[in-house]
């Protein structure tokens, strides 16, 4: 690879710049700022350019701008036939994402992917295999939870001005923590959203949902409960499965999977020493090699549709 561009210079954009350099040391990495305030070139990029300076000689573009810019920035790159990886969520909302997907030709659709990197976590790959091989028997209930204190996400910045805290930039727990919705859909398939609640605390003073609770019927007829929040002072990310043969506890932060059954407790997977940046590296390798394991635009659109149905259910409570 000779030339790559990253649109958006926040924490995730800078991570992508470093990782491109790691994987392709000879590549020229160009940064494109999504805002107009800062005109300096990020330390992890070789050049700072404008969106208009992109051309078809670029072999990779990563859209890491705020969600409300994703469609415009991705469309620009895809119209130049640049393979484009779009940070989650695919778009600010389902309607915007649907219009975007419908506007693309089949060839351009295949050039794009959505960066739900948790699928590349080794314990996630193990979970996928465990479920596909039906090792647990019938699955009855799934509980997916994630919580992290929003002011701790981006040290040194005012969280209230961040993408996560602003509805106009596509923030809120549903979009920002949509990894849980993606992996539940990937592992089990979402059938219906049965009920939902969206709440805001008195702590953070944002204009977005800070707490999300939803009950979902899965395609295997199991029930899933989803909890997302911006409030837990100690980061928490776990998934519990209650099934015919065992109960499974998947700790996504520890990267471990534990089984509880009549015979006792057993560690099925221990990746506690895993460097989580490897998720991003593996995702980039997969996308640039066109192995077709990258999350597709259609899968990214499915997550937005789940988000929309959660919002609709919450309004009807």
pLDDT: is 110 or 114 the higher one? 114
216 cis-preceded (ω within 30 degrees of 0): no
**Fold designation for 118-274:** Dihydrodipicolinate Reductase; domain 2 (3.30.360)
Q: pLDDT tens digit string along 3-16?
A: 999 999 999 999 99
Both tokens of 230, joined, read 């911006």
pLDDT at 248 over 80: yes
**Structure confidence at residue 39 (pLDDT):** 80
How far is residue 61's CA from residue 164's CA, in Å, rounded to a whole number? 23
Q: What are phi and psi of 184, to 5 degrees?
A: -65, -40
Q: What band does 36 get if pLDDT is binned at 50, 70 and 90?
A: low
**Structure confidence at residue 317 (pLDDT):** 45
Average pLDDT value for the chain = 95
DSSP 215: E
**Structure confidence at residue 316 (pLDDT):** 56
% of the chain beyond a pLDDT of 70: 98
Q: Is the dihedral of CA 31, 67, 191, 193 positive or negative?
A: positive
CATH class of 3-115: alpha beta
Q: What is the mean pLDDT of residues 266-288?
A: 97
The tally of CA atoms less than 13 A away on the side-chain side of residue 103 is 13
**Structure confidence at residue 34 (pLDDT):** 85
**Structure confidence at residue 155 (pLDDT):** 82
Phi-psi region of 56 (alpha: psi -120 to 50; beta: other; left: phi over 0): alpha
Q: What band does 38 get if pLDDT is binned at 50, 70 and 90?
A: confident
- Which residues are 229's β-sheet partners? 147, 211
Residues of the chain with CATH 3.30.360.10: 118-274
Residues of the chain with CATH 3.40.50.720: 3-115
């Amino acid at each position: 690879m000779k030339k790559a561009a990253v649109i958006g210079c926040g924490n995730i954009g800078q991570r992508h710049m470093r990782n491109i350099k790691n994987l392709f040391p000879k590549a020229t990495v160009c940064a494109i700022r999504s805002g107009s305030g800062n005109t300096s070139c990020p330390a992890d990029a070789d050049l700072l350019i404008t969106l208009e300076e992109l051309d078809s000689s670029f072999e990779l573009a990563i859209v890491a701008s705020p969600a409300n810019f994703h469609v415009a920035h991705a469309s620009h790159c895809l119209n130049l036939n640049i393979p484009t990886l779009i940070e989650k969520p695919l778009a600010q909302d389902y309607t915007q994402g649907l219009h975007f997907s419908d506007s693309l030709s089949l060839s351009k659709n295949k050039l794009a992917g959505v960066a739900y990197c948790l699928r590349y976590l080794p314990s996630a790959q193990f979970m996928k295999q465990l479920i596909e091989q039906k090792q647990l028997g019938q699955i009855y209930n799934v509980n997916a939870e994630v919580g992290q204190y929003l002011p701790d996400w981006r040290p040194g910045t005012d969280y209230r001005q961040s993408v996560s805290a602003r509805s106009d930039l596509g923030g809120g727990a549903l979009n920002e923590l949509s990894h849980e919705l993606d992996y539940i859909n990937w592992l089990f398939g979402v059938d219906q959203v049965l009920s939902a609640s969206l709440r805001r605390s008195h702590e953070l003073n944002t204009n977005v949902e800070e707490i999300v609770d939803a009950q979902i019927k899965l395609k295997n007829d199991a029930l899933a409960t989803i909890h997302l929040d911006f409030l837990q002072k100690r980061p928490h990310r776990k998934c519990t499965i209650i099934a015919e043969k065992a109960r499974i506890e998947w700790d996504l932060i520890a990267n471990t999977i534990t089984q509880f059954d009549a015979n006792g407790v057993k560690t099925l997977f221990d990746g506690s020493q895993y460097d989580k940046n490897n998720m991003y590296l593996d995702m980039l390798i997969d996308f640039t090699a066109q192995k077709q394991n990258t999350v597709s635009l259609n899968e990214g659109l499915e997550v937005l549709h789940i988000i929309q149905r959660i919002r609709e259910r919450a309004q009807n409570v």
